[in-house]
């Protein structure tokens, strides 16, 4: 009897909720999501992680200790799997209220995306920095106002303006497993992967005709130091008649970053599950320009990015520890600035309205300087995608990586991933 009462109560609540959501014209609440899973192989890899958003890491350098391949089921070949709720309310006079909540999940395991948890996991398990670290709504949580003429302003956890640009200008469709830009948020946040989504952010966007522009500022929330932990971003672009160009700027002060590539703790360590090891404290700065041109069934895309990781404005005391998304980490200060240039180009061609093939080349160059080893990593990627319907598609992708220079001594000189998957949207 109690079970029946609970079901009736839940049904009544849902009916009332969705009835209210669509009661007024121009108002809506939408439940949506993407389920994307692939089966494939990575030539050199640590063990896959049931917590890490992409399950494996086919992009970064790999220690020669991991000279074996991993064959398995991977999350999000093209799109990180997710579910979310978004809504709008018409307030009149061209003014609208809006909100969004979005949660990234690992479909093969059913876990929330939690890169921090994978770093704190057992040794020889993939663990890489990400902005998705076990938060219930790790991909976004915001509320705001939009006016038809004056643009929109959102408050909360949002993506950077650089991330928004990458989604639309990456030659290989920002694919999570087949593009370094789609895999790692570092390219959209000045080299700090955790910064691709920013907490406590105020984000303004608007467009005037074909010109778009935006500003963002996140509040650090540090007592007695207003600027500590803050970020700033800006964007200016133009899109019209198939041609588009975007320029972005991003900076962060006293950002915490994990450079872990595999589980940080040795086998048998009592710290497994509680510690993420050593973290770095940096200031960072990033500029990016990207362009695209669509003609007929083809679209070509290209871009350049330069980012620098520098000493923090407010250095941490020696041996300081900090909370890292619920885990413990030891802070070290960046001493020697690291400068990186990124070049990318390629595009896609729709052979039919349902069949699209994308290809891209990515060159990430670390500039040698005092205390910093130089080198570059080259990625060559191709992705074929076939849509059965507007909601469901299947795909196959391949990415080959080549590592050169002193920065990669002790690492495998090359790597590849090949995978095929299915994606459905609701």
Tell me the C-alpha distance between 347 and 382, whole Å: 10
CA gyration radius for the chain?
22
> Where are the extended beta strands (E) located within 182-242?
197-208, 211-218, 231-240
Burial of 93 (0-12, 13-18, 19+ CB in 10 A): exposed
* Cα–Cα dist 75/52, whole Å: 9
Q: Where do the domains of the chain lie, and which CATH numbers do they carry? A: 33-425 (2.40.160.10)
Closest to 233 in 3D by CA, of 221, 222, 254, 247: 247
Q: Which residues pair with 283 in a beta bridge?
A: 310
Token digits of residue 92: 């009149």
The full length of the chain comes to 426
Question: Could you read off the pLDDT tens digit of each residue along the chain, which spans 426 residues?
Answer: 444 444 443 444 344 344 444 445 579 999 999 999 999 999 999 999 999 999 999 999 998 888 889 999 999 999 999 999 999 999 999 999 999 999 999 999 999 999 999 998 877 889 889 999 999 999 999 999 999 999 999 999 999 999 999 999 999 999 999 999 999 899 999 999 999 999 999 999 999 999 999 999 999 988 888 888 999 999 999 999 999 999 999 999 999 999 887 654 444 444 457 888 899 999 999 999 999 999 999 999 999 999 999 999 999 998 899 999 999 999 999 999 999 999 999 999 999 999 999 999 999 999 999 999 999 999 999 999 999 999 999 999 999 999 999 999 999 999 999 999 999 999
């Amino acid at each position: 009897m109690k079970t029946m009462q609970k079901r009736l109560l839940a049904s009544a609540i849902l009916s009332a909720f969705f009835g209210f959501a669509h009661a007024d014209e121009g108002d809506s609440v939408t439940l949506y999501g993407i389920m994307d899973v692939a089966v494939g192989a990575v030539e050199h890899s640590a063990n896959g992680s049931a917590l890490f958003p992409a399950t494996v890491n086919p992009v970064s350098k790999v220690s020669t200790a991991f000279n074996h391949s991993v064959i398995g089921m991977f999350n999000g070949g093209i799109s990180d799997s997710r579910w979310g709720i978004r809504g709008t309310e018409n307030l009149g006079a061209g003014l609208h209220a809006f909100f969004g909540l979005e949660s990234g999940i690992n479909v093969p395991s059913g876990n929330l995306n939690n890169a921090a948890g994978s770093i704190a996991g057992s040794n020889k398990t993939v663990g890489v920095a990400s902005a998705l670290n076990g938060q219930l709504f790790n991909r976004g949580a915001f509320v705001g106002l939009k006016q038809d003429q004056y643009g929109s302003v959102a408050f909360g956890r949002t993506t950077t303006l650089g991330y928004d640009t990458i989604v639309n200008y990456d030659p290989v469709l920002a694919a999570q497993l087949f593009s370094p830009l789609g895999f790692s948020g570092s390219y959209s946040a000045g080299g700090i992967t955790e910064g691709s989504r920013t907490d406590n952010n105020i984000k303004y966007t608007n467009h005037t005709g074909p010109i778009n522009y935006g500003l963002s500022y996140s509040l650090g929330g540090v007592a007695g130091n207003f600027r500590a932990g803050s970020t700033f971003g800006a964007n200016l672009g133009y899109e019209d008649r198939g041609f588009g160009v975007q320029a972005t700027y991003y900076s962060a002060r006293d950002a915490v970053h994990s450079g872990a590539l595999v589980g940080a703790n040795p086998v048998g360590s009592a710290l497994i599950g509680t510690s993420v090891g050593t973290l770095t404290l940096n200031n960072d700065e990033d500029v990016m320009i990207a362009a695209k041109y669509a003609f007929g069934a083809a679209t070509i895309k290209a871009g350049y990015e330069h980012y620098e990781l520098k000493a923090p404005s407010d250095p941490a005391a020696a041996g300081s520890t900090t909370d890292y998304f619920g885990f413990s980490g030891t802070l070290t200060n960046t001493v020697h600035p690291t400068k990186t240039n990124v070049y990318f180009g390629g595009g896609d061609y729709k052979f039919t309205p349902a069949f699209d093939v994308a290809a891209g080349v990515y060159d990430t160059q670390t500039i040698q300087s005092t205390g910093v080893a130089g080198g570059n990593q080259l990625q060559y990627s191709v992705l074929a995608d076939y849509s059965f319907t507007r909601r469901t598609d299947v795909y196959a992708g391949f990415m080959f990586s080549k590592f050169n220079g002193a920065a990669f001594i002790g690492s495998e000189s090359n790597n590849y991933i090949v995978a095929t998957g299915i994606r459905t949207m609701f």
